């Protein structure tokens, strides 16, 4: 069993990460989340190896320096191509390269990457080995606990052991199996039951492997409990819909007040937004990621409504957010509070 973390220990980086999420964790979202939490690890949306090698690399891989610690998630199944992408990631300063072996969508399957690769542990091992030999930054794998009928403990052990043979040091496990046929990606996040004990078992069976757990994790108390069993917790959609959870995690781990208020986070976004608008972006491309900031707070609905109605307009600028902020009362106690599990 992993030793329970101690709240008086100051982490340079929290054992918390935000999952790669298509159409959500783009560079604007990540910059916003970084203002809320300086020390969680952020992941890009999945980028295919073919896109990296043949597409606009600056558009696909560019990021703001303030986003660190930052990992690039790749999708692919060709060792040589993935190794070339890993080199590109390292040269651009990414802190980690992650191989997607967990996404169950039809589009991903047709490209022979994602969850379907769990049926080919030898292929995954070849890909990881090629990337590890090409770069010095960590190479990790994100997977499920099983695929279709290949979901026994023996199947999962065989997959993990094949990766351990080539030196894999960290795995991120979504605690659901994936059905490759019959369920949509959304259903694959909801229908297969969560089996956290099976992820705990991986850590117990392979104690030297760094294990991060993912899937349906929304509450601080649950995060605290998971960290008594595994090394890290990856938060998915909850971090997008309720991003203030990340600020509460910062406070909880340090035992110190929240770094800045929600209003201060919005105001800290203004220079970034103005720079982006000057380059031809629309406000909506950034503000859509900020809608959940006041989740469950007085005025949250008015905040969301004002931005949704105004941010898409051609001339929309930071005045839209300034007006939206007026819909939400500023709570002086928000910054002074130290978050505990019972908060």
End residue of a domain, out of 206, 223, 254: 254
Measured between its terminal Cα atoms, the distance across the chain in Å is: 26
3-state secondary structure of 10: coil
- Cβ atoms of 339 and 248 closer than 8 Å: yes
Q: What is the 3-state secondary structure (H, E, C) of 45-105?
A: CCEEHHHHHHCCHHHHHCCCHHHCCEEEEEECCCHHHHHHHHHHHHHCCCCEEEEEECCCC
pLDDT for 10: 40
pLDDT at 330: 85
Q: For the chain, how many structural domains are there in total? A: 2
Q: How far apart are CA 204 and CA 28, in angstroms?
A: 38
Which pLDDT belongs to residue 114? 86
Max Cα distance, the chain (Å): 58
113-164, pLDDT tens digit by residue?
788 999 999 999 999 999 999 999 999 999 999 998 899 999 999 999 999 9
- 274 plus 246 within the same structural domain: no
**Is residue 288, in this structure, part of any structural domain at all?**
yes
**Which residues in the chain come in under a pLDDT of 70?**
1-11, 106-111, 332-343
Whether residues 20 and 72 share a domain: the answer is yes
Tally helices (H) and strands (E) across the chain: 17, 9
**Closest among 74, 78, 124, 115 to 94, alpha carbons compared:** 74
Q: Is residue 8 part of a domain?
A: no
For residues 171 and 282, state if they share a domain. Answer: no
Identify whether 132 is part of a domain.
yes
Residues 72, 214 within the same domain: yes
pLDDT value for 187:
82
103 is catalytic: yes
**Are 213 and 311 members of one domain?**
no
CB 268 within 8 A of CB 259: no
> Within a domain: residue 120?
yes
- Tell me, yes or no, whether 343 lies in a domain: no
Same domain, 250 and 267: no
Q: Are residues 176 and 309 in the same domain?
A: no
Instruction: Give me the pLDDT at residue 8, please.
Output: 39
Distance (Å, whole) CA 64 – CA 34: 10
Output the pLDDT for position 7.
38
pLDDT digits (tens, 9 = 90+) for 219-231: 999 999 999 999 9
Q: Are residues 224 and 295 in the same domain?
A: no
User: What is the Cα–Cα distance from 191 to 311, expressed in whole angstroms?
Assistant: 35
Total length of the chain: 343
| Residues 301 and 161 both lie in one domain | no
d(CA 18, CA 239): 7
pTM of this structure: 0.92
* Same domain assignment for residues 249 and 298: no
CB 282 within 8 A of CB 313: no
Domain boundary among 220, 237, 254: 254
Domain residues for the domain of 162 are 16-254
Domain assignment of residue 323, yes or no:
yes
Q: In 10 A of CB 120, how many CB atoms?
A: 16
Listed residue (255, 300, 102) closest to 192, CA to CA: 102
CA 117 to centroid of chain Cα atoms? 20
Which pair of tokens denotes residue 294? 């006041």
Which domain CATH number covers 292? 1.20.120.1460
Asked whether residue 36 is domain-assigned, the answer is yes
Kind and range of the H or E element at 17? strand 16-18
- Whether the Cβ atoms of residue 43 and residue 71 lie closer than 8 Å to each other: yes
* 342 assigned to some structural domain: no
Q: Which of 254, 287, 312 is the last residue of a domain?
A: 254
Q: Is 31 buried (19+), middle (13-18) or exposed (0-12) by CB count in 10 A?
A: buried
Do 247 and 266 lie in one domain? The reply is: no
Residue of 69, 167, 175, 163 whose CA lies nearest to 124? 163
Q: Are residues 313 and 191 in the same domain?
A: no
State the pLDDT at residue 338: 61
* CATH, residue 224: 3.20.20.70
Q: Which of 29, 103, 116, 127 is catalytic?
A: 103
């Amino acid at each position: 069993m992993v030793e329970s973390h101690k709240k008086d220990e100051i982490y340079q980086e929290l054992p918390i990460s935000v999952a790669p999420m298509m159409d959500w964790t783009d560079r604007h979202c990540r910059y916003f989340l970084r203002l809320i939490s300086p020390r969680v690890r952020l992941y890009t949306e999945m980028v295919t190896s073919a896109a990296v090698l043949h597409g606009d690399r600056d558009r696909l891989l560019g990021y703001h320096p303030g986003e660190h610690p930052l990992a690039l998630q790749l999708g692919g199944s060709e060792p040589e191509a993935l190794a070339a992408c890993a080199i590109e990631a390292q040269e651009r300063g990414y802190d980690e390269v992650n191989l997607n072996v967990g996404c169950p969508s039809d589009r991903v399957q047709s490209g022979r990457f994602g969850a379907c690769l769990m049926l080919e542990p030898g292929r995954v091992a070849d890909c990881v080995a090629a990337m590890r030999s090409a770069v010095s930054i960590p190479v990790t794998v994100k997977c499920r606990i099983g695929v279709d009928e290949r979901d026994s403990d023996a199947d999962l052990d065989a997959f993990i052991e094949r990766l351990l043979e080539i030196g894999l040091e960290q795995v991120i496990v979504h605690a659901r199996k994936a059905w490759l046929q019959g369920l949509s990606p959304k259903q694959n996040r909801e229908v297969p039951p969560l089996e956290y004990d099976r992820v705990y078992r991986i850590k117990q069976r392979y104690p030297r492997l760094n294990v991060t757990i993912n899937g349906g994790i929304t509450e601080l108390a649950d995060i605290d409990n998971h960290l008594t069993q595994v090394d890290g917790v990856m938060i998915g959609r909850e971090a997008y819909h309720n991003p203030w959870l990340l600020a509460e995690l910062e406070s909880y781990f340090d035992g110190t007040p929240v770094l800045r208020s929600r209003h201060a986070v919005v105001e800290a976004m203004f220079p970034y937004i103005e720079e982006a608008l000057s380059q031809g972006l629309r406000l909506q491309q950034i503000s859509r990621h900020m809608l959940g900031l006041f989740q469950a707070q007085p005025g949250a609905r008015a905040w969301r409504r004002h931005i949704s109605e105004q941010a898409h307009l051609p001339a929309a600028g930071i005045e839209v957010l300034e007006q939206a902020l007026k819909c939400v009362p500023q709570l002086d106690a928000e910054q002074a509070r130290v978050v505990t599990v019972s908060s």
